[in-house]
Structure 1
C-alpha cells in the first residue's frame, strides 16, 4: 500500500482535501513526492515540514518554503538550501557559521553572497575543508588571499575557482611567487611517506584512491594542476607546458581547452593515449589540417569524437559517417549548416550524408518530404520523427521498411491515434514500438490497452491519462509495484479510487 500512496502523492488530479490527508500521514517517501506537487499550497508545505522534518529540504529546493517559514535553528539544512539559492538572510549565515557540524559549515561556505564578516569567519575555520569550500566560490580578492593558505587542499580549491585572478592561477600552476604549502589532507592524518591503498579496507577512511604525500603533497598538487588546467580563467601560457607531462590525466585535461595554440594542438594529436586525442578532436581550437589528420586516426573513439567538431568539413564528416558509428544524433556541424549546405547534403548520392541532415528537425518541407521517400532505411529512420509529416507519409514508411523504422515512426509528434492503434495490432509488434506508443501523448485507449501486454511498456501505459479509468483502477492491484504506483499517479484514476486508497492505509 505504501507504494500506492507514493504514486497518489504525485497524482496531479488529487483533490486538495486528499492532499491534506496525505500530508498528515506522510513519511519520507510520500513527503518527497508531495514536495514536488505544483499545486502544493504554502499551508500544506508548512504542515508537511512539521510532519516530516527532513521534507523541509525538499520543500525549500522546490520553492515551497520561504524565509518566513524556516527557523534556521530548527531547520538548518533547509536554511542552507535558501542561502545557496541567494534567498536566505544574513543573520542565518552568521548563525550557521558557528554550527557544530562541519558539513553544514562547508555547505554554507559554498553559498553565494555571504556577508564579509561571515567570509572572514569561515576563512579561519578549524576544518580545512570548510576553508576549501569557501575558496572554491570566493570573490577574486578572497581567492587571491587564500592562494597563499598553508594547506594545499585550500589552494586546490582556489585553482578551480573561475573568479580567481589569472595571475594567481598562473602562480598556483607553476608554484612560483607563492610560499610553499605546508600541509595536505594526506599528511594531516598519516605518517609520510604514504600512498593510499586503492583497496583500503578502512571503513572510516575518505582519502581518494592513490592519494600520496612524501612531504611534497604530490597527489594534492596534481589535483591542483588538473583544476587549474580545467579552469578557463587560467592563462593558456601557464598550461601549455603540460603538453608532454608524464601525467596522462593532465594532458587529457589540457586537450579539451578551447584556447590552445596550434603548436600545442599538433603535439597533442600525436599523444599515445586515445582519450587525449579524442578530446582534442572535438576541440574547436583545432584547424582543418588537424581535423583531416585525426579523421584517419586508428582509434574509432577518436574519429567518433571528431564528428562532433563544430567546424569539421562536410566531406570529412560524411566520410566519418560511413565508417564510424556516430549514432542517431544531430551533430553540431549539421545543426549549423547553411541552407545551401542542407540542400547539398539532402541531394547527395551518399546515404550517409542524407542521414546526417535528416537528423535536423527544421528542414524545409520540400527537403523533408524528399527524405521521407528516401530508399535508404537509415535516412528514413532519421527523418521519421520530423514534425510536419502526414499520416500518409508515416504509413508509407512503415509499409516500405517495416519493423526497422516503426519505432521511429511512433515517436513522431504528429502520429495520429489511428496510426498508433494500427501499429500495435501488427503481428508481431516490435516491443520498442509498444514502449514508444505507451509514451506518446496522442495514444488512445485501444493502443494503450495493447501496450499492457508488454512488461516494459506496461508501467508507461499505466500512467498514461488516456487509459480508461476502470482499467487504471484495476491496475492498482497489479503484482508489479512499478505498474501499480504508475496507476496511482495517473490523473485518470477515478476520484472514488483515490478516496478508497486513503481510507485503507
Structure 2
C-alpha cells in the first residue's frame, strides 16, 4: 500500500488535474480514498469505476453513478447496487436472477420493487440462501407464502421480516396451521443427530457454533422463534407465552418489547439472567413501580441501563448517579428536565446530580457559571465543553483542578489559541489533552508541535492545516504510516509537493 498516495487521494486541496492523474494509477486502496472526495466529478467517478471495479458499488451508493454509467454485463455488482437503490433497469434484474454466482442472486433477492416474475424465479431458487434472503425483505403477500417453505432457514428469515403479517408470525411461534419443517442447514450438511462443535477446526465449515439437529431441526426452529419474538409485528399475546421458556435467549427477546402486559414485565424483573433484567431496565414501557424495584438491582449493567430510561423518576436517577457509571453523556431524563428541575439539580449537595445537569448545553447563564466554579472536578469536567464559557472561566478551571480537567477544557470549541498552547505545557500533563488539542480548530503551530511528541496525538496533529508546510513535508517519511497518510492528506501540503508525489 502506498500510504502517501492514499493520503493524497483524500486531500481536500488536491486540484482536479492531480485527481485525474491519481485515477490513472489508482489501486483499490487509493481508489477508496478518491471515492470519498466531495469534489469528485461524474466523469472522474466513471473513470475510477472503470479502473477499479469494486469501487463502482460504493460510488453508486454515494450517488456518483447512475444507470447510464453502468453496463450490467461488465459491472454486475454495481448494477445490483443500483437495483438496491431502486434506480436500476428492471431488465437487469431478469438478467441477474439467473446469474451463476449465488451471492449475486442473494443480493438481488434483498432488493425492493423487483418485477413479479423475478420474485417468482428467486422464490424457487435452488440455493436456500437466495430464498431466505428474499423472505427477509419481500412483501407481505410473498412472505406469507414462504412461511410454509419446507426449509427452516427460509422460515427463520420470514420470522425476521417486519412485513410478515402478524397472524403468520404467531403461527411460526406455535406451528399451528403450518406444515412441519423438513430441512435445516445442519441436516443439509450432516447426518442427524448432529451437534456442531463450537470450536470446529474445519476452515471450510460455515455452520453456526452449537448448531444442532436431531431430526426436529431444533437449533433452526429456536432461531426462528427468537426472530419472531424480536419482531415488532408479532402479536404481544403470542410473545407473552414465552416469558417462562427454558431458553434464556427467547426470554431475553421479550425484555425490550414495548407492548407486553405488566405482569410479563414483572416476571422478567425476577429473571435469573442479569442481561434480561438490564434490557428490561432500559425499556420505556415498564411501570414506575417496576423502575423502583430495578433501581435496587445490583445485577451487571441493570442500574446503568435504568439510568438511560427516559421514564426514570428524577429522584431515582439522582440516587443512581452516585453509584452508577453513566458515561459523559446527556441522559434522556436530564434532557427532558424542566427549568425547576434543572435548578434543583444544579443546587443539589450531591456532586453526581450536579455532574448530570452540567451535560446540558442550554443552561441558564447563572447556572452554567455556578457549575463552572464547582469545587468538584467531575462537575467541572462535565461543563468544560460548554461553548459559551469565556477564556477566563476555562483558565480558572485549569488553575483549580489541573490535569483532571485539561482534556475536557481542550474540547471546548471556544478555547483560544493561547490557552491551547498553555495546556500543552501544563505540568503534570494529560495525555488525552494532546489528542483534543491536535484536532482543535484553534490549535497553533507551537501547540501542534507539542502534540507531535505524543504517539496517539501525532497522526491527528499531522493532518492539521495550521502545521507549518516544511514540517508536513518532513512527516511524509515518518515511520508511522498513519502519520504519513495524515500528512499527505493535509490541505496545507504545498502544491508543488503534491505534483511531485503523483508524477
Report which stretch shifted further, 281-290 or 357-366.
357-366
RMSD: 1.1
Measured against aligned partners, the alpha-carbon deviations of 1:40-76 in whole angstroms (never above 9, x if no partner) come to: 1111111112222222122223222111111111111
SS at match of 1:163: coil
1:228 Cα deviation from its structure 2 partner: 0.6
1:298 matched to which residue of 2? 298
Structure 2 counterpart of 1:435: 435
Residue 92, structure 1, aligned to residue 96, structure 2: no
Q: Which runs of 5+ in 2 are unaligned?
A: none
Question: Counterpart in 2 of 1:50?
Answer: 50
Q: Residue 83 of structure 2 aligns with which residue?
A: 83
1:196 aligns with 2:196: yes
**Residue matched to 1:500:** 500
Q: For 2:250 and 2:46, locate their aligned partners in 1 and report how far apart those are by CA, in whole Å.
A: 49
The answer on 1:131 being equivalent to 2:145 is no
Q: Contact 1:300–1:324 at 8 Å: present in 2 too? A: no
CA distance in 2, matches of 1:144, 1:178: 11
How much does 1:362 deviate?
A: 1.9
Quote the Cα distance in structure 2 between the aligned partners of 1:232 and 1:54.
Answer: 36
How far has the Cα of 1:377 moved from its partner?
1.0
Q: Distance in 1 between matches of 2:307 and 2:127?
A: 46
Q: Distance in 2 between matches of 1:72 and 1:364?
A: 59
Is 1:34 the counterpart of 2:34 in the alignment? yes
Q: CA deviation at 1:178?
A: 1.0
Q: Is the 8 A contact 1:389 1:414 kept in 2?
A: yes
Partner of 2:331: 331
Q: Corresponding residue for 1:349?
A: 349
Distance 1:322 1:419 in 2: 32
The TM-score normalised by the length of structure 1 is 0.98
Q: TM-score, normalised by structure 2?
A: 0.98
Equivalent residue number for residue 185 of structure 1: 185
Q: Tell me the equivalent position of 1:474.
A: 474
User: Offset of 1:348 from its aligned partner?
Assistant: 1.3
Q: Output the CA distance in 2 between the equivalents of 1:375 and 1:27.
A: 56
Runs of 4+ in 1 over 3 A off after TM superposition: none
Matches within 5 A, 1:404-423: 404-423=404-423
SS in 2 for 1:242: coil
Q: Distance in 1 between matches of 2:300 and 2:57?
A: 45
- CA–CA distance in 2 between the matches of 1:84 and 1:427? 56
125-134 or 361-370, larger mean C-alpha shift: 361-370
Distance of 2:217 and 2:174 partners within structure 1: 15
Quote the residue 1:106 is aligned against. 106
Count, aligned residues: 503
Match of 1:424 in 2: 424
Equivalent position SS for 1:484: helix
The alpha-carbon deviation at position 205 of structure 1 amounts to 1.2
298-307 vs 186-195, greater mean Cα deviation: 298-307
What secondary structure is seen at the aligned counterpart in 2 of 1:270? Answer: coil
2:25 is the alignment partner of 1:22: no
What SS does the corresponding residue of 1:374 show, helix, strand or coil? coil
What's the counterpart of residue 316 of structure 2? 316
For the residues of structure 1 that align with 2:89 and 2:337, how far apart are their CA atoms?
A: 49
Give how far 1:300 is off: 4.4
- Note the residue ranges of structure 1 that are not aligned, 5 or more in a row: none
* Distance in structure 1 (CA, Å) of the matches to 2:269 and 2:142: 38
More moved, 104-113 vs 61-70: 61-70
Matches within 5 A, 1:477-488: 477-488=477-488
2:274–2:300 Cα contact (<8 Å) kept: no
The answer to whether the 8 A contact 2:275-2:300 is kept is no
Matches within 5 A, 1:103-182: 103-182=103-182
Which whole-Å CA distance do the structure 2 matches of 1:260 and 1:337 have between them?
A: 28
Question: Following TM superposition, by how much is the alpha carbon of 1:341 offset from its aligned partner in structure 2, in angstroms?
Answer: 1.3
